Amino acid sequence: MPPVLDRAAERVDRSRLAAVAAISVPLATLSLPLVVFLPEFYANALGLDLALVGTLFTAVRLLDIAFDPVLGGLMDRTTSRWGRYRPWLAAGTPLFMISVAMLFFARPGVGPVHLLIWLIGVYAAWSILALAQLALGAELSPAYGERSRVYGWIQAGTCLGVLLALGVPLLLQRGHSDPTATMRIMGWLCIVGMPLSAVMAVRLLGSSTAAGHGGKGTWREYFRLLRNGNVARLLWLDLMLGLASGMTSAVSIFFQTRAMMLPRPDVSLVLIAHMSAALLSAPVWTRIGQKLGKHQAIMLAVFLYIASQLALLAVPPGSLLMVSLLSVVGGSTYAAFAMFPRAMMADIGDEELLQRGVDRTGLLYSLLMGTWKVGQAASVGLAFALLAALDFRPQDTTTSPAAVTALYLIYVGGSVLLASLSLIALRRYPLTARRHAEIRTALRERADATRYDKEGPAHG
């Protein structure tokens, strides 16, 4: 039987796409302040020791990475009338709301124990909700091309959440920067948004239709998946791209203000242009992925990203227009970097199901979340260590030519090198649209045979 390719009947309706994408909005609204604003808020506004705050954030982040595979295995083994993953959305939502309230609405006088407890709570809730969302996205359609559309919507929700976190406090405060008020606004955006999106997802998203079972997600199974060739390729791709984008984010303010000589308010405009481009380009990348194939589309995005970074070498300092235009190009590739690895992991889940007869969706996405978290955590330390080694001094009021060179080496050179290394994973990538169609056909034939054996020819 020839491979069965994607059909219009497998197209996911927009209400369900909106339901799974809506979860991204409060998650992304939380992610930005959690990394950028919350540490500074506890150190400055609440008076905790700066080094202690940094240590607590790092320790909880490392614990969070170890939590993901355990969580993925538990999700895969869950059975309920709501399916495997929707119960976790319902369970993670109140933990998310309480933890955000305790962290964002804290007043002077709270101690490090308060910060530690509720950091653990908020990171655990974020992992539960994000992992359930990714797994639900994989279930929405078995079609190769349609999965690009699903994760394109999810990425659009992420960009919208970041824009809300950036724009709403600025709009409501009308230019007056009050750290306590900013944190409260961001907190309320998360607290109100998450239950609304969770209820929508639980009501509109169906139960699992996977033709397999979750099995036991043991640590041995976790490490076996790491040795899977396609999984290893995808994790390498995600790690390198995460490190590349993370390094540029870590030194972005230094690079824009000192190498590009932009005023600090203009840097916010550049960031908003970057995220707006990511939001608007998601449907474009969906079509490109459906036309070329997901691995070819992300290769195109990598080349475009490298070109936009190298073009910065020709931009004269002070040129807000040129920097913004290149930020728009880079932002458009950000959408591709986020959506395609997640869509490709869903295809690997089908391959794993065919080979093993076990649904490992949760465990596979826990691996992908782990590489993203490692990339985000490691990129900041790597970028700052390189800046220190190149004798960059952030406290200096003037920027020497050597300091500018150091910023270019990391912001441009480092990101281009890491993005180039990501292409290793995509060379002769075997899980193409044709191969995935063969997998789907084999899964359907096996499911039909199993149903025939159980029900007999009268029901066949």
What single DSSP character describes residue 413? I
Taking the C-alpha atoms of residue 64 and residue 56, their distance in angstroms, rounded to an integer, is 12
> Does pLDDT of 107 surpass 80?
yes
**Structural domains of the chain ordered from first start:** 14-209 (1.20.1250.20), 217-449 (1.20.1250.20)
171 pLDDT exceeds 80? Answer: no
Strands (E), 104-193: none
pLDDT > 90? residue 177: no
3-class DSSP state of 211: coil
Residue 358's DSSP bridge partners are: 213
Terminal-residue alpha carbon distance, the chain: 18
pLDDT score at 431: 93
C-alpha to C-alpha distance for 390 and 109, rounded to whole angstroms: 39
pLDDT band at 211 (very low <50, low <70, confident <90, very high): very low
- Read off the pLDDT of each residue in 162-172 and give the average, rounded to a whole number: 76
Query: Residue 169's pLDDT is what?
Result: 67
Q: In this predicted model, which residue has the larger pLDDT, 413 or 258?
A: 413
pLDDT tens profile 387-433: 878 877 766 667 788 888 888 999 999 999 999 999 999 999 999 99
* % of the chain residues with pLDDT over 90: 42
Mean pLDDT of the chain: 85
Q: Rounded CA gap, 420 and 294, in Å?
A: 18
Average pLDDT over residues 65-88: 84
* pLDDT score for 157: 92
pLDDT of residue 10 exceeding 80, the answer is no
41 vs 376 pLDDT, higher one: 41
SS3 assignment for 314-332: HCCCCCHHHHHHHHHHHHH
Average pLDDT over residues 310-326: 94
Q: What would the two tokens of residue 78 be?
A: 């869950």
Cβ-based neighbour number of residue 5 at 10 Å: 15
Q: What is the mean pLDDT of residues 338-357?
A: 91
Exposure letters 276-302 (e unless 16+ CB within 10 A, then b): bbbbebbeebbebbbeebbbbbbbebb
pLDDT for 58 equals 75
Section 346-360 average pLDDT: 88
pLDDT number for residue 75:
87
Whether residue 60 is predicted with pLDDT greater than 90 in this model: the reply is no
Over residues 234-254, mean pLDDT: 88
Dihedral sign of CA atoms 193, 194, 200, 201 in order: positive
Q: Is 423 buried (19+), middle (13-18) or exposed (0-12) by CB count in 10 A?
A: middle
Tell which residue, 25, 24, 38, 27, has the closest CA to residue 183.
Answer: 38
Query: What is residue 295's predicted lDDT score, i.e. its pLDDT?
Result: 94
Q: Using CA atoms, how far apart are residues 85 and 46, in angstroms rounded to an integer?
A: 37
User: Is the pLDDT higher at 6 or at 70?
Assistant: 70
CA dist., res. 281 & res. 271, Å (int): 15
Torsion of CA 259, 262, 268, 269, to 10 degrees: -120
Query: Which of 19-23, 44-48, 373-377 has the weakest average pLDDT?
Result: 373-377
> 172 versus 271: which is more confidently predicted?
271
* 120-153 per-position pLDDT tens digit: 999 999 999 999 999 899 888 888 889 999 999 9
Alpha-carbon distance of 110 to 37, in angstroms, equals 17
